[in-house]
Structures are given as structure tokens and as C-alpha cells.
């Protein structure tokens, strides 16, 4: 409980400094974290988290048994990254931009054991320009197994990844749970490769 309160304060402090990048005033609730994890493919063992923040979803992943070298967490904010690194010394917390994921994941050695089963993202995609969103999705699917999932939450009513990004990448989307018990309420979205289309460079997939 004390951890959650200090996480909230830390988050508000970073939001005041950079509201656009932080994208939320408070960390995700346990209910939202659970709704995100409910979308993990069956038998998931390896996950990449984008935008770890103060670790609200990271905690849920570790509790779910996805930890150590099977979990890679990216965070762009140096202050939040340092906090994640202290909270999760055994997990791979990396400071960097999600748009650079294939390079960062390779440098961290995460891809040595093969692609991830899922990418879980708390990034504020709605505040990013389309080119940045496309780079993030492209990079994420280059690190995912062929039927891997990109799981995202968003505070708006529409998919935070527009059709103009999904279609060229051959991705399909599905709306997951709407979580009222979060500030603000949020919807989970799941993106996957469409079965009929090949996607993305396969350089890092094995
Ligand atoms: C809405 S918060 C979510 C934090 C946490 N996952 C949660 O659910 O409470 C978004 C996080 O993404 C980070 N972020 C924003 N842009 C990023 C980027 N390009 N690459 C990596 N992290 C980024 C922010 O610093 C912030 O910690």
C-alpha cells in the first residue's frame, strides 16, 4: 500500500514535468493491470513491457511468474527508469525509447532466447505522431513470435493505433476489457498479425 502511494506521488511529479510523455497522472490500477495480463497468449513465458513507469504492470507481471531474463521493461524517463531498476533489480529495466526496441532488446540480450510472446504497452500512443506509433508497432512485431500480441491500454473510446498504421503492417485489432476502476477508466486493445498477411522484417524473429 505504501509502495502504491509513493508510486503515485512519484508519477504525479513526473507528470507535472512532462505531461505529454508521462501520459497519465497516476499509475495503472491493479484492475487495469489484471485486464492487460488477461490478454496474454496461453503459455506466455516471455514479455516485453513498454513504458514501465513506476512498475504498476511490471509488479503484476512478476507476480504472474514472468520475471528475470524473461521480462524486459523499457522506460524513457531517466528518473522512472532508475526507480524501476531499484524495484526490479533482477528484471531487465532498460532506459530508452520504445521506437528503438529491436536494437535495445538485442543489446540487452533478451532476443538471444528467441522472440517475445507478448508486448505489453502503457505508452501514451494518442499523444504521439503517427510515424512514431508506426515505428513502435513495427519494432514490437519484429520482436514478437508470429502469433504474438501487442497489448495496449488507452483512455479514449477509439483504438489508439489508427487503421492507417495497422493496415500497411498487416495487423488486426480487437477491443478487450473496459476497466472502470482506473483513473481515468481505460480500455484494453489487442493487436496481432492478420493471419492472411505477412508482416514486418523478420530479422529478429527466429
Ligand atoms: C501512462 S504511463 C504508464 C506507466 C505504467 N506502465 C502504468 O501502467 O502505470 C506511460 C509511461 O511511458 C513512458 N514513455 C513515454 N514515451 C515512451 C517511449 N517512447 N519509450 C519508452 N517509454 C516511454 C512514460 O515515461 C511513462 O512512464
Q: 66-75, 90-99, 193-202 — which is least confidently predicted?
A: 193-202
Which among 102, 103, 105, 138 has a CA at the least distance from the CA of 93? 105
> Hey, whose CA ends up nearest to atom 13 of ligand 1?
51
| Cell numbers at 144, concatenated | 514478437
Cis link prior to 184 (omega < 30° from 0)?
A: yes
Tracing cell 538485442 back to the chain, one arrives at: 106
Q: Among 123, 127, 160, 184, which is best to mutate for testing ligand 1, by the most ligand atoms less than 8 A from CB?
A: 123
CB 77 less than 6 A from any atom of ligand 1: yes
Q: 36-45, 70-79, 196-205 — which is least confidently predicted?
A: 196-205
Q: Among 4, 18, 53, 138, which is best to mutate for testing ligand 1, by the most ligand atoms less than 8 A from CB?
A: 53
Q: How is domain 29-193 classified at the architecture level of CATH?
A: 3-Layer(aba) Sandwich (3.40)
> The pTM is what?
0.92
**186 confidence band (pLDDT: 50, 70, 90):** very high
| Cell numbers at 23, concatenated | 501520459
Amino acid at each position: 500500500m505504501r509502495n502504491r502511494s509513493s508510486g503515485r506521488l512519484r508519477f504525479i511529479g513526473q507528470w507535472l514535468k512532462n505531461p505529454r510523455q508521462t501520459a497519465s497522472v497516476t499509475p495503472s490500477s491493479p484492475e487495469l493491470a489484471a485486464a492487460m495480463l488477461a490478454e496474454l497468449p496461453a503459455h506466455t513465458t516471455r514479455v516485453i513491457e513498454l513504458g514501465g513507469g513506476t512498475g504498476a504492470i511490471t509488479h503484476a507481471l512478476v507476480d504472474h511468474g514472468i520475471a528475470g531474463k524473461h521480462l524486459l521493461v523499457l522506460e524513457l524517463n531517466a528518473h522512472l527508469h532508475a526507480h524501476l531498476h531499484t524495484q526490479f533489480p533482477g528484471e531487465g529495466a532498460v532506459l530508452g525509447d520504445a521506437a528503438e526496441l529491436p536494437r535495445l532488446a538485442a543489446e540487452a540480450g533478451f532476443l538471444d532466447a528467441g522472440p517475445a510472446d507478448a508486448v505489453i504497452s502503457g505508452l501514451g500512443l494518442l499523444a504521439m505522431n503517427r510515424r512514431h506509433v508506426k515505428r513502435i508497432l513495427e519494432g514490437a512485431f519484429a520482436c514478437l513470435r508470429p502469433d504474438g500480441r501487442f497489448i495496449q491500454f488507452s483512455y479514449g473510446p477509439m483504438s489508439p493505433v489508427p487503421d492507417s498504421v495497422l493496415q500497411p503492417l498487416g495487423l488486426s485489432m480487437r477491443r478487450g476489457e473496459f476497466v472502470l476502476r482506473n483513473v481515468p477508466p481505460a480500455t484494453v486493445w489487442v493487436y496481432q498479425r492478420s493471419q492472411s498477411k505477412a508482416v514486418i522484417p523478420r530479422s529478429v524473429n527466429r
